[in-house]
């Protein structure tokens, strides 16, 4: 028997999902699978676990709810417990490094990764009567893998006579990926759609796209606050640092003081009607703002309005009216470190806002919101602002679908988010600021229409929206390099990766090739003959080496180099080497200026790279990087990128690999002869499936031009020869055996040839050591 606080009861009854309780419960009781698609804020996360609890689903086993984000895991457990009048002993949460689960836990909120771990030790999830996969539209790697596994676990539980229910909850995006995928669910599960009351939201685009989106966000917020009627403001930025920066600036502009009674100030110097209110009152096809152009815009608008009335069709977006975005796309690729630089303060343009800031006496109640914010501070966004002040939340994309803040009327959208971007050559990944998808932009806009009609200000042009923002970002699982995905899944005990029922499947051919590559590298192996059962003849298992490799946050081939170099105390060298191999075109000039001899010469192009970055770091410490790079033909941007990667990789490895604690030595000395020899063996260990053998000149067919074969090698099953790159240092020695990082094509038609990039000399007697026999 649940006893709810009457206040909570009133709030719940306002949620549209409450009216659907009976229908939802009937569907759950009658089906093993159910998809709940509902607008954000309709009450899926907070209410459905309560329905299940009241229907007795927690009497003998637990109710599991998974979240892709830590912030939602904690916040939602707390909220559901509070609404049910239960303690955190009964409604608990669990995530990596943190949790409050007890033996009395009835409803368990957890991150998707935690449930995956539990499956590894209890495949049937026998502790649970029902599993809710929340925020399935986020398509995190773990959520996708969970869905595939659960589609198989549920029927197994039925066979055991102890049924398990699976509820997939999602915003209304992309539900077809789950319903129309017959490999995942042979019979499409029923879908229940939850509507939520949504007021109209008017979208305004900026005319220009200023790459300094934080300044733009600040300006827009000041204008909204000083000119527009009451209503909360929600600002979307990309990360914690940006949140803090804006919070600080906005607080300074419109400070709140406890000892002042602000209630008398409300709506002074504010327009009365909503129509005047929007900074720009026309929908979709008009960009707002830039007061100077306002008058001109008005004329155009009038004309367009007339045309619209005539044609009666949907308003057309007139592309001639838009200026090209200012940034060239490069500016978008800022990451945390760079963005500190552009969090610049005062600025002439901003000064023009000073008079309106001064004359506005209403305070802004500015609150931060992001994943790692502590729970008490997070909870503040749900409370009303103090009397007389206006609520303003500066948030990352957690406010997009995970957390609904009441009373927002204005959304300020920078159009940016942070996304993990992988380098497909090495698998190194980094967080980058990218344009959000169009679907995300619409979700963000919707946040302004929860309590009344609202406005959303996109701080970029509609041309950017149309041409730069993808409709949807592909699911994480499909953006990850396949080799890395295959190894990760095998380590989880999922042996048949190629046949796995992915919600959105990566290319099967690619998965097969990845398995082959991993086998060649000794990371996967066929199980011993006596253990092979008929149906899993082709199942490859992870070797002990593979287990060690998987701990490194890189493509397995580079992970292998790192894992083995750790055993040889060469980790700092390999980290530098892998970082350097990740960045294209480090050297713009000929490498002859780099004296390479002996073993360093045999280390070949990677050896030259190592020397180059070592020397460049030395120059950097002395403050002479720029001159140095110019003098020796190094691309300065590449050197900076490598420096950042080294730091990032080093700290990630220290965090994720047990027992490793290495430091970045900026002035790394060149490897001595013995080290260089070991490094060559390490390079071979990672690139061992890419070996070349020199084609002897007497092998060249009659009639062929022998000169064309001076630097030609024979490579595996390839028919045509592959060549040493014209800048390769190994052209000096032309060794018998080499390994290379990648192959690429140059030249057109009869001049076309295959060229090896980043080549290292190896000894033939090392080859048998390559794959453990």
Verify binding: residue 129, ligand ADP, rule CB under 6 A: no
The pair phi, psi for residue 557, each rounded to 5°, is: -65, -35
Which residue in 20, 24, 35, 44 binds ligand ADP (CB under 6 A)? 44
Q: How far is the CB of 76 from ligand ADP (least distance, A)?
A: 7
Which residue lies nearer to Mg ion by CB, 108 or 157? Answer: 108
Q: How far is CA 493 from CA 426, 487, 546, in A?
A: 24, 10, 13
For the segment 368-427, give every residue that binds ligand ADP (CB under 6 A). Answer: 379, 382, 404, 406
Which residue lies nearer to Mg ion by CB, 44 or 480? Answer: 44
Which residue lies nearer to ligand ADP by CB, 190 or 406? Answer: 406
Sign, CA dihedral 76-77-81-82, equals negative
| Residue 129 binds: one of ligand ADP, Mg ion, none (C-beta under 5 to 8 A by kind) | none
Q: How far is the CB of 63 from Mg ion (least distance, A)?
A: 15
Q: Let me know: does 342 contact 214? Beta carbons within 8 Å.
A: yes
Q: Let me know: does 422 contact 428? Beta carbons within 8 Å.
A: yes
- Residue-level length of the chain: 773
Q: How far is the CB of 47 from ligand ADP (least distance, A)?
A: 6
Closest CA to 227 of 299, 295, 289: 289
CB atoms within 10 A of CB 29: 11
Q: How far is the CB of 478 from Mg ion (least distance, A)?
A: 24
> First CA to last CA across the chain, in angstroms?
64
Which residue lies nearer to Mg ion by CB, 44 or 557? Answer: 44
Which residue in 33, 35, 40, 542 binds ligand ADP (CB under 6 A)? 40
588 SS3 class: coil
Binding mask 478-507 for ligand ADP (x = CB under 6 A): ------------------------------
Q: How far is the CB of 44 from Mg ion (least distance, A)?
A: 5
Q: Let me know: does 436 contact 444? Beta carbons within 8 Å.
A: yes
Q: How far is the CB of 480 from ligand ADP (least distance, A)?
A: 27
Q: Let me know: does 217 contact 235? Beta carbons within 8 Å.
A: yes
Q: Which stretch binds ligand ADP (CB under 6 A): 41-49, 142-150, 183-191, 298-306?
A: 41-49
Closest CA to 350 of 211, 223, 206: 223
140 SS3 class: coil
Q: Let me know: does 194 contact 17? Beta carbons within 8 Å.
A: yes
Binding mask 473-492 for Mg ion (x = CB under 5 A): --------------------
Q: How far is the CB of 72 from Mg ion (least distance, A)?
A: 7
Which residue in 24, 34, 35, 41 binds ligand ADP (CB under 6 A)? 41
Binding mask 3-32 for ligand ADP (x = CB under 6 A): ------------x-----------------
Closest CA to 649 of 565, 761, 568, 741: 565
Structure tokens of 665?
């030595």
Which residue lies nearer to Mg ion by CB, 134 or 287? Answer: 134
* CB neighbour list of residue 205: distance below 8 Å, 6 or more residues apart: 286, 287, 288, 458, 460, 461, 462, 465
Q: Which stretch binds ligand ADP (CB under 6 A): 42-50, 322-330, 602-610, 682-690?
A: 42-50
Which residue lies nearer to ligand ADP by CB, 43 or 604? Answer: 43
3-state secondary structure 226-260: HHCCCCEEEEECCCHHHHHHHHHHHHHHCCCCCCC
Which residue in 45, 73, 105, 208 binds ligand ADP (CB under 6 A)? 45
43 sits in the region (left: phi over 0; alpha: psi -120 to 50; else beta) called left
Which residue lies nearer to Mg ion by CB, 38 or 229? Answer: 38
Verify binding: residue 46, ligand ADP, rule CB under 6 A: yes
The pair phi, psi for residue 559, each rounded to 5°, is: -60, -40
For the segment 76-115, give every residue that binds ligand ADP (CB under 6 A). Answer: 79
- Kindly give the residue spans of alpha helices, DSSP state H, lying in 31-69: 44-54
Which residue lies nearer to ligand ADP by CB, 172 or 504? Answer: 172
| Residue 42 binds: one of ligand ADP, Mg ion, none (C-beta under 5 to 8 A by kind) | ligand ADP
Which residue lies nearer to ligand ADP by CB, 379 or 700? Answer: 379
For the segment 45-64, give every residue that binds Mg ion (CB under 5 A). Answer: 45
For the segment 427-446, give every residue that binds ligand ADP (CB under 6 A). Answer: none
Closest CA to 441 of 406, 418, 469, 468: 469
For the segment 694-713, give every residue that binds ligand ADP (CB under 6 A). Answer: none
Q: How many residues bind Mg ion (CB under 5 A)?
A: 2
**DSSP codes of every residue in 292-323:** HHHHHHHHHHHHHHHHHHHH-SPPPP-GGGPP
Which residue lies nearer to ligand ADP by CB, 81 or 686? Answer: 81
CA–CA dist 635, 643 (Å, integer): 13
404 SS3 class: coil
Which residue lies nearer to Mg ion by CB, 28 or 602? Answer: 28
CA–CA dist 56, 51 (Å, integer): 9
Which residue lies nearer to Mg ion by CB, 39 or 625? Answer: 39
Q: How many residues bind ligand ADP (CB under 6 A)?
A: 15
Binding interface with ligand ADP (CB under 6 A):
15, 38, 40-47, 79, 379, 382, 404, 406
């Amino acid at each position: 028997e649940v006893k709810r606080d009457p206040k909570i009861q009133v709030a719940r009854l306002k949620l549209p999902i409450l009216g659907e309780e009976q229908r939802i419960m009937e569907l759950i009781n009658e089906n093993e699978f159910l998809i709940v698609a509902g607008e954000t804020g309709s009450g899926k996360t907070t209410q459905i676990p309560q329905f299940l609890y009241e229907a007795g689903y927690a009497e003998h086993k637990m109710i599991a709810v998974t979240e892709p984000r830590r912030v939602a895991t904690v916040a939602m457990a707390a909220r559901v417990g509070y609404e049910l009048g239960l303690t955190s002993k009964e409604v608990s949460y669990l995530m990596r490094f943190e949790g409050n689960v007890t033996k009395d836990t009835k409803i368990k909120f957890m991150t998707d990764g935690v449930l995956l771990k539990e499956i590894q030790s209890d495949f049937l999830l026998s502790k649970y009567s029902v599993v809710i996969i929340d925020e399935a539209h986020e398509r995190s790697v773990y959520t996708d893998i969970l869905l595939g596994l659960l589609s198989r676990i549920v029927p197994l539980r039925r066979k055991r006579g102890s049924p398990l229910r699976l509820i997939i909850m999602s915003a209304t995006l992309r539900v077809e990926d789950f319903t129309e995928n017959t490999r995942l669910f042979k019979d499409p599960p029923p879908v229940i759609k939850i509507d939520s009351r949504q007021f109209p939201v008017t979208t305004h685009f900026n005319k220009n796209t200023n790459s300094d989106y934080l300044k733009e966000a600040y300006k827009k917020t000041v204008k909204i606050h000083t000119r527009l009627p009451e209503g909360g403001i929600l600002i979307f930025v990309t990360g914690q640092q940006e949140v803090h920066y804006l919070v600080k600036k906005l607080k300074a502009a419109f400070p709140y003081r406890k000892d002042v009674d602000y209630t008398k100030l409300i709506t002074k110097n504010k327009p009365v009607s909503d129509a005047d209110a929007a900074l720009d009152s026309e929908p979709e096809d008009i960009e707002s703002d830039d007061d100077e152009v306002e008058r001109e815009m008005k004329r155009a608008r009038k004309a367009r309005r007339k045309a619209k009335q005539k044609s009666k069709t949907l308003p057309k977006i007139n592309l001639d009216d838009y200026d090209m975005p200012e940034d060239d796309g490069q500016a978008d690729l800022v990451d945390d470190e760079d963005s500190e630089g552009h969090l610049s303060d005062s600025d002439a343009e901003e000064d023009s806002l000073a008079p309106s800031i001064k004359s506005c006496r209403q305070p802004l109640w500015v609150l931060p919101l992001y994943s790692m914010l502590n729970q008490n501070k997070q909870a503040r966004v749900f409370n009303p602002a103090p009397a007389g002040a206006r609520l303003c939340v500066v948030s990352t994309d957690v406010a997009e679908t995970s957390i609904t803040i009441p009373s927002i009327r204005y959304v300020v959208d920078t159009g940016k988010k942070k996304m993990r971007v992988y380098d497909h050559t090495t698998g190194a990944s980094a967080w980058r600021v990218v344009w959000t998808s169009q679907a995300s932009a619409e979700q963000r806009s919707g946040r302004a229409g929860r309590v009344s009609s609202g406005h959303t200000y996109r701080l970029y042009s509609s041309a950017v929206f149309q041409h730069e923002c993808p409709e949807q970002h592909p699911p994480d699982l499909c953006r990850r390099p396949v080799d890395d995905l295959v190894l990760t899944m095998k380590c989880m005990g999922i042996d048949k990766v190629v046949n796995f029922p992915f919600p959105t499947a990566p290319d099967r051919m690619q998965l097969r090739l990845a398995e082959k590559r991993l086998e060649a590298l000794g990371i996967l192996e066929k199980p011993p003959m006596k253990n092979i059962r008929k149906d899993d003849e082709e199942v490859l298992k992870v070797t002990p080496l593979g287990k060690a490799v998987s701990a490194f946050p890189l493509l397995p081939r580079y992970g292998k180099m790192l894992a083995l170099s750790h055993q040889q105390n060469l980790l700092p060298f390999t980290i530098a080497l892998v970082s350097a191999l990740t960045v294209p075109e480090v050297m713009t000039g000929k490498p002859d200026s780099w004296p390479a001899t002996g073993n360093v010469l045999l280390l070949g192009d990677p050896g030259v790279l190592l020397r180059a970055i070592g020397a460049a770091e030395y120059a950097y410490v002395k403050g002479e990087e720029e001159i140095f790079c110019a003098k020796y033909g190094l691309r300065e941007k590449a050197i900076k990128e490598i420096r950042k990667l080294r730091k990032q990789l080093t700290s990630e490895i220290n965090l994720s690999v047990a027992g490793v604690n290495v430091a970045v030595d900026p002035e790394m000395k060149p490897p001595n002869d013995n080290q260089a020899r070991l490094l060559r063996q390490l390079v071979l260990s990672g690139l061992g499936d890419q070996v070349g053998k020199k084609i002897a000149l007497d092998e060249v067919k009659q009639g062929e031009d022998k000169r064309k074969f001076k630097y030609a090698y024979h490579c595996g099953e390839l028919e045509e020869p592959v060549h040493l790159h014209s800048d390769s240092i190994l052209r000096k020695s032309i060794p018998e055996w080499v390994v290379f990082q990648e192959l690429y094509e140059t030249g057109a038609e009869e001049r076309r040839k295959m060229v090896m990039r980043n080549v290292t000399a190896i000894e033939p007697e090392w080859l048998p050591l390559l794959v453990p026999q």
